[in-house]
Structures are given as structure tokens and as C-alpha cells.
Chain A
């Protein structure tokens, strides 16, 4: 395999930037193009639902690199121009502005699009939260609001609820699951999260189905639940998950499922790779395909793809990491905290407001979750790396 003469990266968020930076760090001297749909230079999304929404961090401070650092990459950066078509055999991308870009290697890092409620209208007061522009618009609306309903019981919904509560608003969180984050962390930790939000004064409507939004000719006025009850709101945050941004890849020749289907090298076709939230790849360590929606994965996968473009031919098999900050609680997860797994507390206790939990399935430790116990969580990560036998869990408990 020869090193390509040029690389086109479609998607100028953290994953796309990681590809460009990793290629240059590894000594790549060919032509690089970074194409972004948004008008903003690469910026960081995790703070949007937390410090940017609360006002603790100015939106500009989410920028990932200053202009000088971007210039040093010696890449052509094209912003505000979404890709609209890929011709995989020709390795050509067409953009909304009519550009036709070709390169010997193409990396797709177009991320996610937020899901919307069926029939969701662009009513004033209704928000999704994916981009920095979304965050600025939501913050402006929250500052003038008194009652917020967050639809969605996942990471984004709970973070938005926590931030809005911290701004002094009346907050209701609605979701279909028995606890927040049940599908990410299981019912036990989800239960602790429900208690945390209830203690902070969030009204929880768990196990509730949303039928739609209600409003008048001016703005949204509430959220209607199945059964007819209306939760009044002057602002509604719709955080019901996302889907991979792959609509533009129809008729591209690539295999699409829940994301862009890739092999263990994150390769979707000859000379075409995918990185980050949009990539569904074969994880050799797990023996299965998966797609991860978190920031750390975007960067690590970007570095892995850069290495593979340069001929390393390495499988990408990470120990995933994600975190969420809600009120004064920091939750960190290394590995896989699947809902059906066994859970054992090995440090601290929920009553103390800090603990470490190990997750196990198939007789091995598969994940570690820390709740306000940062260092201890990091130390237990090694059990995930090694796949420590679950029967040893009792002996790992701090005395």
C-alpha cells in the first residue's frame, strides 16, 4: 500500500481535526483538505450543554485551536460548506456550494444530527442542542424563561436539565425509561441519577411517553404526554438522541446501516475511512461491530485512521471513555457499562456521594464507573484493560 498523495477529511469537528493533526504529527507531507458544514472553525461540543449553556464559558472558548495552530497544519480549510454527495469509486465529494473535491484518501467524520419529535415545528422556544449556535440560542431563551421541559433522559437531556436547574429555572425532565441513562448505565446507577435530580428539585416524569408539543401562533407552550396531560413550558429542549449524519451518502456506493459500515481498520471502502460518531466499525477485541458517540472516541479513532492511511494496518480496538458533569457530580466511565451487566461497588458508597462501580459480563470486568472518585476510577481502569476475572471482584473492594 502506498501513501496517498492527498487526504480529504469531510467533517471539521474534533474527529476530523484529529485526523489532520495526527497525519502531520506522523510526518505526512501530502495535501490535506478539511471540509466543514458549519461556518465555525473546529470547536469542542461537550461544554455546550454545561459551561456554555450556563454562561461559565464564552462560546469562543470552545474553539479547539487558535488560528496560528490551524495555519501550522498547512491544510486547506473549507468551512460553511456541507458535503452533499460522495462518489466512492471516483473518490470525489461534491459540496452544497458546488465544489468537487477529489483525493486519494477520504475520511468521513460528519458526526450526528439530532432527532426531532414527529411533526416538530420550528416553533420559537423549541430547541435541539448539537452545535454552538444551538447552545447560544438556547441560552438566550433560557435567560428569559421560567419553566423548561427537557424531553429526553439520556446524557444530553440530563446535562441540559442540570444546567437549567442551576440557572434557577423550574425544570421537568421527561423520558420513556424507568431511570435516566438506564440504557447507558443500567437501572442501579440510573436510580442514583434520578435521586440526584430529584434532590436538586427537577421534576422527573419517568416512564412517560411524549405525544407532541403544544403552542400557539407565538411560541411553544408545553409538552403533551400520552394520556393528554400537558406539562407547561416556555422553553422545550428536545434531546431524544441523534442519528449518524449519513443522508448525504445515499447512492455513494458505501454500505450504510447504523452509521458507515467499516472493517476493523475503520475502512469503509478502498481509500475511504470513517471516524467518530458516524463510524460503525468492527471492534476486534469485542468481536462485534459498534458505533460510539463520545468525544474521546472521535480523537482516538482519528489518530488510528491517520496511522492506517500511512500504512500501519492496525485494528482499532479502544477502551472507550466518556464522562458527564451534572451539578457537582462527575461521572466517568471507562470501557463498557452495559445495562444487563453485573454491577459491584468497590470504593466509596452512594450515601457518601462518591463511589466506584465495576461492571462485569461474560465472567470478566468490562467497565468501570466513577461517581466523584476520579483517581480511584482511573486506577480501576486497568481491570477493564486486563479483563479481570469477575470472580475476583470481592477481593478488589477497598477495605
Chain B
């Protein structure tokens, strides 16, 4: 899994940080900081949920089969 974040779309909700704090953080202005662009498999479920609920649709995932 590879994570791509679009900071222009990020609205700073922080939902991703609530769901996957090892993968996402926020700057002081709320904009997402990607801590780990290829997270370990045990984090994939939380990352997929973060991508789904992101209110800015700012998280894209590339998943290899």
C-alpha cells in the first residue's frame, strides 16, 4: 500500500489522526502530515477507513494486488 495525500484538498479535520496516529499527523494549521507513506499491513485497515472518511477526500491509496 502506498498513500498519497493532497494537501490542497485537506480540510484539517484530523479524522485520519484519530484513526491512524502512527501514519498521519497534523501541522499547527491542521494540514495533514504523512508520517509513513507505506505503512505496515496491520495498519492497512485503519488507513483504508481514514481514506474513506476523510472529509476533504484528500487521501488516495495505491494498493498492489
Interface size class of chain A, counting residues whose CB lies under 8 Å from the partner chain: 20 to 34
Main secondary structure on chain A at its contact with chain B?
A: helix
Q: A303-B52, A321-B55 are in contact. Are A332 and B9 (CB under 8 A)?
A: no
Residues of B within 8 A of A (CB): 8-9, 11-15, 17-18, 26, 28-30, 48, 52-53, 55-57
Cα A282 to Cα B13 with chains together (Å): 26
Interchain nearest-CB distance for B30 vs A (Å): 3
Contact (A332, B13) CB under 8 Å given A57-B8, A374-B26, A378-B18: yes
Cα–Cα, bound, A303→B53 (Å): 9
Minimum Cβ distance to chain A for residue B50 (Å): 11
Given A47-B9, A374-B28; A296-B14 close (CB under 8 Å) = no
Say whether B17 contacts A299, CB under 8 Å. no
Asked if A312 is at the interface of the complex by the 8 Å CB criterion, the answer is no
Question: What separation, in Å, do the CA atoms of A377 and B8 have in the docked complex?
Answer: 21
Verify B52–A46 contact, CB threshold 8 A.
no
A296 touches B15 (CB 8 A): yes
CA A30 – CA B42 in complex, angstroms? Answer: 27
Inter-subunit contact A375/B26 (CB<8 Å): yes
Is the beta-carbon distance between B48 and A25 smaller than 8 angstroms? yes
Interfacial chain A residues near B53, Cβ < 8 Å:
296, 299-300, 303
A392 CB-CB contact with B under 8 Å:
no
Contact B52–A64 (Cβ < 8 Å)? no
B52 lies within 8 A of A25 (CB): yes
Task: Please give, as numbers and ranges, the residues of chain B lying within 8 Å of A104 by CB-CB distance.
Answer: none
With contacts A57-B8, A61-B9, A332-B13 taken as known, whether A375 is within 8 angstroms of B28 at the C-beta atoms is yes
Q: Given A47-B9, A323-B12, check contact A374 B55 (CB 8 Å).
A: no
Contact: A374 with B18, CB < 8 Å? no
A–B pairs, 30, beta carbons within 8 Å = A21-B52, A22-B52, A25-B48, A46-B11, A46-B55, A47-B9, A64-B57, A295-B55, A296-B13, A296-B15, A296-B53, A296-B55, A299-B55, A300-B53, A303-B53, A321-B13, A323-B55, A325-B11, A330-B11, A330-B12, A330-B29, A332-B12, A372-B29, A374-B26, A374-B28, A374-B29, A375-B26, A375-B28, A377-B14, A381-B18
